[in-house]
Amino acid sequence: MYQLYYFPGNANLVPHMVLEEIGAPHELRLVDRSKGGLTSPDYLKLNPHARLPTLVDGDLVLYETAAICLHLVDRHPEAGLAPGLGTAARAHLYKWIVYLTNTVQAEMLLYFYPERWAEGAGAAEVRRHAEAHLSEMFDRIETSLAENGPHLLGSMFSAADLYLLMLGRWSRGFNRPAKTRPHLARLLERIASRPAVQRAFAAEGIAAPYY
């Protein structure tokens, strides 16, 4: 049985949704980051970077959200969350997941934790610029959906769409959240209404509005 170390609404939400979609038995293990759980000795043995999520799969201990998602879709090809290996569509899945984690999610860190890079008024400027950059990123995703949608991989629903839902959810406090763009809004609504996604929300105590 998989073990997923999590804190409600954190980056663990994507692999959690993937686990629900594939129907694999799993156990959630709360890491209470509000009480120092990320730096507890037991957790640091699993993930020395003191970040979430961490997945335990037998003897394998894996961290980094994108890596966990790709591992799970490889382990469960029958779930249909990824195109076949070696195909052009699979390459596009890699492209989108890497873009979402390495570009969009990385910019989200600047928005939510600007004090890591600046102090006082400088932190406010970091946040303002990060939100502007993220708005441009969501605009580009909107354009891609308009031209190639309704999903990131065209007609195929994939793990990349689940990743996008999490990041769209994180944008709900923006002046222009992801849902203000029509194609993105329709995709987020479809994904959020999926039974597996609803189960993940419920297990993490996430209530509407979801994004």
Q: What is the pLDDT of residues 49-93, one digit of tens each?
A: 999 999 999 999 999 999 999 999 999 999 999 999 999 999 999
Distance between CA atoms of residues 207 and 210, nearest Å: 6
pLDDT score of 63: 98
Domains defined for the chain, CATH in brackets: 2-80 (3.40.30.10), 88-194 (1.20.1050.10)
Whether the CB-CB separation of 52 and 7 falls below 8 Å is answered with yes
Give the pLDDT score at 73.
98
Question: What whole-number percentage of the chain has pLDDT above 90?
Answer: 99
pLDDT at 44: 97
Other CB atoms within 10 A of residue 119 CB: 10
Mean pLDDT over each residue of the chain, to the nearest integer: 97
Which residues, 6 or more positions from 30, have their beta carbon under 8 angstroms from its beta carbon?
5, 6, 7, 37
pLDDT in tens, 89-147: 999 999 999 999 999 999 999 999 999 999 989 999 999 999 999 999 999 999 999 99
**pLDDT given at position 199:** 98
The pLDDT of residue 91: 98
Q: Are 68 and 19 in contact (CB under 8 A)?
A: no
pTM: 0.96
Q: What's the pLDDT score for residue 93?
A: 98
Give the pLDDT of residue 4. 98
Tally the C-alpha atoms within 13 A of residue 186's C-alpha that lie toward its C-beta.
10
Q: What single letter denotes the amino acid at residue 167?
A: L
What is the distance between the alpha carbons of residues 29 and 55, in angstroms, rounded to a whole number?
Answer: 10
Quick one: pLDDT band at residue 157, thresholds 50, 70, 90?
very high
Which pLDDT band, with edges at 50, 70 and 90, does 179 fall under?
very high
How deeply is 158 buried, as exposed, middle or buried, from its count of CB atoms within 10 A (0-12, 13-18, 19+)?
Answer: buried
CA distance 68 to 143: 28
Average pLDDT of the residues in 142-160: 98
